[in-house]
């Protein structure tokens, strides 16, 4: 009897793990009518992600302007603020809804801003910064072509 229960609970455990794993990889994205994958989020979750997006846009603008003014300290601190530490507050439920590719691309962008901050710290020139920002922004463009965020109840 106990053995059966143990096996049953183990089986349930594996099913739960498998389901969690499936959603971790797939997220909840479905093909939208404009050809992009639509990630379905609750209003508050969508607002959170879009808020992070606006922070990215605003940060990129600050970095470009500071680079042109040769204000490398501002370039470094702004770049750092867009790094991995900007991504830690995302909760597990939201993470589970984002497709794996979306998560890894997003994390990749944060990582690149950390790398940029380090490069600037080590004396990178403004030309190098602008080139790097332009390159990072190819990832923004790519992701925006691939995904959109739809609100669900
Ligand atoms: C992993 C994918 C991904 C990456 C990387 C990404 N974005 Fe986004 N971004 C999105 C999605 C999805 C939306 C919502 C688009 C929609 O629903 O039409 C969005 C929306 C936005 C918005 C609109 C915000 C609003 O209030 O509506 C801005 C601005 C933005 N992104 C800026 C950026 C910038 C700048 C970068 C790069 C530094 C970037 N994003 C990188 C996926 C991404």
Sequence-separated (6 or more) residues with CB below 8 Å from residue 142? 105
CA 92 to chain centre: 13
Q: Which of 50, 149, 53, 40 lies closest to 97 in space, CA to CA? A: 40
pLDDT at 30: 81
- Is 109's C-beta closer than 6 angstroms to any atom of ligand 1? yes
pLDDT in tens, the chain (153 residues): 767 777 777 676 666 666 666 555 666 678 888 999 999 999 999 999 999 999 999 999 999 999 999 999 999 999 999 999 888 767 889 999 999 999 999 999 999 999 999 999 999 999 999 999 999 999 999 999 999 999 999
Residue with tokens 């969508």: 46
Q: How far apart are CA 152 and CA 104, in angstroms?
A: 23
CA distance linking residue 125 with residue 136, whole number of Å: 17
What pLDDT shows up at residue 33?
87
Cβ count near 145 (within 10 Å) = 10
Q: Are 86 and 110 in contact (CB under 8 A)?
A: yes
Q: Is the CB of 54 under 6 A from ligand 1?
A: yes
C-alpha to C-alpha distance for 45 and 111, rounded to whole angstroms: 22
Residue nearest to atom 25 of ligand 1 (CA): 50
Q: Are 106 and 89 in contact (CB under 8 A)?
A: no
- Is the separation of the CB atoms in 33 and 106 below 8 Å? no
- The rounded Å distance from CA 11 to ligand 1 centre is 40
């Amino acid at each position: 009897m106990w053995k059966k229960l143990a096996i049953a609970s183990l089986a349930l455990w594996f099913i739960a793990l498998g389901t969690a794993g499936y959603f971790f990889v797939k997220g909840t994205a479905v093909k939208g009518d404009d050809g992009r994958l639509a990630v379905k989020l609750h209003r508050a979750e969508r607002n959170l992600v879009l808020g992070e997006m606006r922070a990215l846009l605003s940060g990129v603008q600050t970095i470009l302007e500071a680079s042109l003014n040769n204000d490398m300290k501002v370039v470094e601190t702004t770049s750092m603020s867009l790094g991995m530490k900007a991504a830690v507050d995302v909760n597990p439920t939201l993470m589970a809804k984002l497709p794996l590719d979306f998560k890894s691309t997003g994390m990749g962008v944060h990582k690149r801003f950390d790398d940029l901050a380090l490069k600037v710290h080590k004396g990178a020139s403004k030309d190098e910064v602008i080139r790097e920002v332009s390159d990072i922004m190819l990832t923004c463009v790519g992701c925006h072509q691939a995904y959109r965020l739809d609100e669900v109840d």
